[in-house]
Structure 1
Amino acid sequence: MTTPLEGLTAIVTGAGRGLGRAEALELARLGAAVVVNDFGAAGRDGTGGASAGPAEAVAAEIRAAGGRALAHTGDVADFAAARELVAGAIAEFGGLDILVNNAGILRDRMVFSMSEDEWDSVIRVHLKGHFNTTRFAAAHWRERAKATGGAVYGRIVNTSSEAFLAGSAGQPNYAAAKGGIVGLTTSTALALAKYGVTANVICPRARTRMTEDVFAGFAAPEEGLDPLAPEHVAPLVGYLASPAAARINGQLLVVHGGMVAVVERPRVQAKFDSKQDTFSYDELDALLTPHYAERPAGETFAAAEVLGLRRGASGGDGGVPPAGR
């Protein structure tokens, strides 16, 4: 069996269930020692009390298969807990080489009904949680690079969502957090490249407790692997964490059901120049109103069509709606 991650240490957040669990198992299968982080909240909204059970179960599963694993139940959205998570990985396994940020919660509501707490809690867990762990992992790699005088090995794989790419009307908090994660990733990729560290972001589509409502109408097949199984996503995470992906940095990839799509940065679709020192209202009206006149009502900048993944699109997803994890 190929073990490209042999001798490396990984942290996977939100690894007690669903995608995080599949990713932790894949990294271990590829040879990495894995710190399995999961707060263990009973509900997918982050409420209902914490539990060490999910993280401990996955760590035990890895050890039973002959791998090395440590369970960690801290809240990655807490700055001190994230520091302790990174420090714990270094203390237990002698270093840190891979960080997979996956932890998240859902508190869905239309924007006109959303409470301040529903907004703050989702931004806190997703976006701040990604930042916290990245901040301490990045500091560790920078210190190592300075000490050795050369590049080090470091891989960050962050988790965004098609809710950011294609829009999600009932998830303004989630979509905003996932968009922020893309910005965090590209900034981190530029900042850490000189140290030998890469940072990439994936938009996975999988059937987990986070998406059980979204995919309720798409039953798993009675035989064979579910097209929405998290196991379709995990191999890409393993690859991005490996030495083979050294030239992949600051990239956004959509992954699900045996498909990986590399997403380009936004391109300028049209450009208008003023014939005066600056635009006037009348000039903008004359230029922009006709430009948008033929577009369908309600079409947004964040349209699913840009990915070719809308329902029934040619070369698209075969009718599965875009969704977050």
Structure 2
Amino acid sequence: MGDFLTGKVIAITGAGRGIGRAVALACAAEGAKVVVNDHGVSIEGGEPTSEVAAAVVKEIEAAGGDAVAVADDVATMSGGARIVATAVETYGRIDGAVCVAGILRERMLFNMTEQEWDPVVATHLKGTFTVFRAASAVMRQQRSGTLIGFTSGNHQGSASQANYSAAKGGIISLVRSAALGLHKYGVTANCVAPIARTRMSANVPMELKEMGEPEDVAPFVVYLLSDRARDITGQVYTVAGPKIAVWAQPRELRAAYAEGGGWTPQRIADLLPGTVGTDPMPLLAQLDAMRRAAATGDRPNA
């Protein structure tokens, strides 16, 4: 066992399978006491069971670690609060909250129903908020702690997962807000955008050039939770196999100012294309490639 997280208490949602499980096992292997949360549902959000969380606890204990299972639904305020309360009641504190839990309900925007939108946004975005909300209250009093949200490259947009994409973009803004609001209390907040083989990535309609395993993501999360990363906050990182990358912070690219009389539609039409312009969407080019490949029966790379 390592010692990167010795003495720390880490709560991880969605920890029964995939990346969450890999993170839970890695944290325990580095000396952390772990709260393993998983509602145990399918990727569509149905059939909850606590067995998957309990199974990961058994793995950790068999390896000589210390863990406890919580099967609550992170999409409820009570569920998020109970995960944090379990950490405090069992181990006396909470040093890290890692929100991996998620579901998918894929549909084109013009066909998407409320029943396909609400549960995805609730699990990903609200589920991150409920845990962050409860954990930050404790960490503020401790004047230390780390919040980690899980986003996706799909925060750039998605042709057939507007619900998932919107939630993942919201998580980035939530993390940045947490980083700003909690900085003076010694609490950090960061985002990880993994590219790894999981249940949720199995149906991606293209071959990804950069693809790793859940176990590739876990060491980076351990690092962010450790004291070695105490000065890192408000960041978004991609982890894809051997690759680690940081995303740019939002910023203006170009600006124009109206002179004498303000803007009119005609003045905007005359000025905007050649001055402010646009910022191209790389994903549009990928979609065009996918459409061309579909016509020939090939599977495009991305």
Could you tell me the TM-score, scaled by structure 2's length? 0.90
Shift of 1:276: 2.1
Question: Equivalent of 1:185, from 170, 175, 195?
Answer: 175
Please give the per-residue CA displacement for 1:193-229, whole angstroms capped at 9, x wherever unaligned.
111110000111111001111178579xxxxxx9521
CA distance in 2, matches of 1:106, 1:34: 26
SS in 2 for 1:233: helix
Moved more, 283-292 or 13-22: 283-292
List per-residue Cα deviations over 1:230-262 (Å, max 9, x = no partner). 111111100000000011011111111111111
* 1:231 to 1:110, Cα distance in 2 relative to 1, 3 A: same
Shift in Å, 1:269: 2.1
The one-letter code sitting in structure 2 at the alignment partner of 1:263 is W
2:65 aligned to which of 67, 70, 76: 67
Q: Please tell me whether residue 278 in structure 1 is matched to residue 276 in structure 2.
A: no
Tell whether the 8 Å contact from 1:24 to 1:34 is kept in structure 2 after alignment.
Answer: yes
Q: Specify the alignment match of 1:223 in structure 2.
A: none
- 2-side partners of 1:21 and 1:116: how far apart? 30
Separation in 1 of the partners of 2:203 and 2:126?
25
Counterpart code for 1:175: S
Aligned residues of 2:256 and 2:275 also touching (Cα < 8 A): no
The range that moved more, 270-279 or 122-131, is 270-279
Alpha-carbon distance change, 111 to 227 in structure 1, aligned in 2, over 3 angstroms: closer
1:158–1:202 Cα contact (<8 Å) kept: yes
Alignment of 1:55-204 (within 5 A): 55-144=53-142, 152-165=143-156, 167-204=157-194
Tell me by how many angstroms 1:120 deviates. 0.8
How many residues end up aligned between the 2 structures? 289
* Pair 1:205-2:195 in alignment: yes
**d(CA) in 1 for partners of 2:242 and 2:207?**
20
Structure with more of its chain in helix, by fraction: 2
Matched residue type, 1:285? A
- Taking the aligned partners of 1:102 and 1:69, their CA distance within structure 2 comes to 17
Structure 1 partner of 2:6: 6
Distance (Å, rounded) in 2 between the aligned partners of 1:17 and 1:215: 22
Is contact 2:255–2:275 with CA below 8 Å preserved after alignment?
no
Alignment RMSD (CA, Å): 2.3
Shift in CA distance, 271/216, structure 1 to aligned 2, threshold 3 Å: closer
SS of 2:238's equivalent?
Answer: strand
Between the aligned partners of 1:67 and 1:272, the Cα distance in structure 2 is: 59
Cα distance in structure 2, aligned partners of 1:84 and 1:208:
27
The one-character-per-residue Cα deviations of 1:275-307 (angstroms, maximum 9, x if unpaired) are 2231111110011234588x89xx53xx359xx
Higher mean alpha-carbon deviation, 282-291 vs 9-18, is at: 282-291
User: Deviation string for 1:131-168 (max 9, x for gaps)?
Assistant: 00000101112233xxxxxxx32011110110013x21
Q: Equivalents in 2 of 1:72, 1:98: separation in Å?
A: 16
- Is 1:233 paired with 2:217? yes
SS in 1 for 2:212: coil
Secondary structure, aligned partner of 1:21: helix
Aligned to 1:36: 36
Percent of pairs with identical residues: 42
The answer (yes or no) to whether the contact 1:110–1:171 under 8 Å persists in 2 is yes
Contact preservation (8 Å) 2:57, 2:69 = yes
Matched, 1:54 2:79: no
For the structure 1 residues 217 and 183, does the alpha-carbon distance in structure 2 shift closer, same or farther, using more than 3 Å as the test?
A: closer
Q: Distance in 1 between matches of 2:112 and 2:275?
A: 34
Structure 1: unaligned runs, 5 residues or longer = 145-151, 220-225, 312-318
